[in-house]
Amino acid sequence: MKLFNRYKAGLLILLWMFSHGVQTVFASNAEQQAAQKAALKIQEIYDRHQLQLTPKRKAHYALRMYRLTGQEKYVSEIINHVYRLVARVSWYDEHVKDEKFRLQITDDLTSRFGQKSRDQLRSRFWQQTEFKALRFELHSVYLLAQLNQLGIKPTHFSNLLHHLQKQPLAKILLDESFIRVYAAQAANYVFWLEELGIASLSEKFIRKFKEIYPKTKDSELSQLEYQNKLYGLTHIVLAASRYYQKSVDAERFQWVTAYFVSTLDTIEKRAKADVLAEIGVCLKLVDYSDQVVIHRLKRRLLAKIDKTHHIIPGVDGNVSLSAGEHRNVLTYAFFNWPKQLITGPDLTQTPAWRRQLPYRLSLD
């Protein structure tokens, strides 16, 4: 009788485990279907209302959607973006040797701050830092890197490239005060400099970042500082992927993955929607396999979607498509991750695209 009871108890446990396993599978499948449906709705809304976006947001959306879907309908907006970039870079290239010109651009770039706490923090940084004169150079790196990823090499703008090669950019990018207010941007600049062949700083930057933001000090960070840390972590991975153009080395960024997973409870409580989506994308880029973590993030983001507008609004309830483009295209990416990422587009390799480039570039 005792043997029978033990057998019966064991059978009941197995049945319970099986039934809950089936429920988990059904729940995860239903959740994935809901996420894909939500992603396609986001794409439909943004495709239909692109005219409501600012030029910057239209370009951001088109570039990421091309790399995620490979659909050529997004290329025309990317080419429009190239015209704006080339106009600015050509201007810089022509006048880069003029110190007054560089200072004028620097003053313009460091005066564009709003009233939000983060903006004011950054404004104070530029007012106080010894590196203010490098603001022009950082913006130039951004512009050249954008063009480089579209097949337009920095050698087209040799004056600007040679100028950048002589600048002490490592000093500002490895400076703690800069990283504490611009962690995400610092990560971008570091990886862009490597792509442009100007400097190799990524390992030094990662070591510095770990020194500044140890896991043990998270509880001491203000909300603004915590958000800056999370943005820095996600952008290290995103920048290494050349923004969704390739997967990244999971071993190299295991420390980032481990941090996200081990502190997920805190992240869910303190992070905004765009950070949650970025973390999801980062896990996809390293091919992270623990579906429990993936599904937790998806559930959190699904719950944030406005049922009337079918997008994720801002924390203040703002449903502006332009203001919310970043968080929503990231949510699309996480919810509908492709089997294969698309590189480029390299606008110089397809004749139909090449003919649409600024005239002198189309002849090179």
Q: Give 138-177 pLDDT, tens digit per residue.
A: 999 999 999 999 999 999 999 999 999 999 999 999 999 9
Determine the pLDDT at residue 24: 47
CA atoms of 335 and 314, how far apart (whole Å):
19
Determine the pLDDT at residue 3: 46
Cβ neighbours of residue 33 closer than 8 Å, sequence gap 6 or more: none
Q: 89: exposed, middle or buried (C-beta count within 10 Å: 0-12, 13-18, 19+)?
A: buried
| Region 61-76 average pLDDT | 97
Contact, 95 vs 101, CB < 8 A?
yes
Determine the pLDDT at residue 2: 47
pTM, full prediction = 0.91
- pLDDT, tens digit, for every residue of 174-225? 999 999 999 999 999 999 999 999 999 999 999 999 999 999 999 999 999 9
Determine the pLDDT at residue 329: 98
CA atoms of 118 and 110, how far apart (whole Å):
14
Contact, 93 vs 157, CB < 8 A?
yes
pLDDT above 70 covers a percentage of the chain that reads 91
Where do we find the tokens 């924390």?
Answer: 315
- pLDDT, tens digit, for every residue of 232-245? 999 999 999 999 99
- pLDDT, tens digit, for every residue of 286-337? 999 888 999 999 999 999 999 999 999 999 999 999 999 999 999 999 999 9
| Region 100-109 average pLDDT | 96
Assigned token pair, 90: 């050509």
Assigned token pair, 297: 């993030």
Determine the pLDDT at residue 23: 43
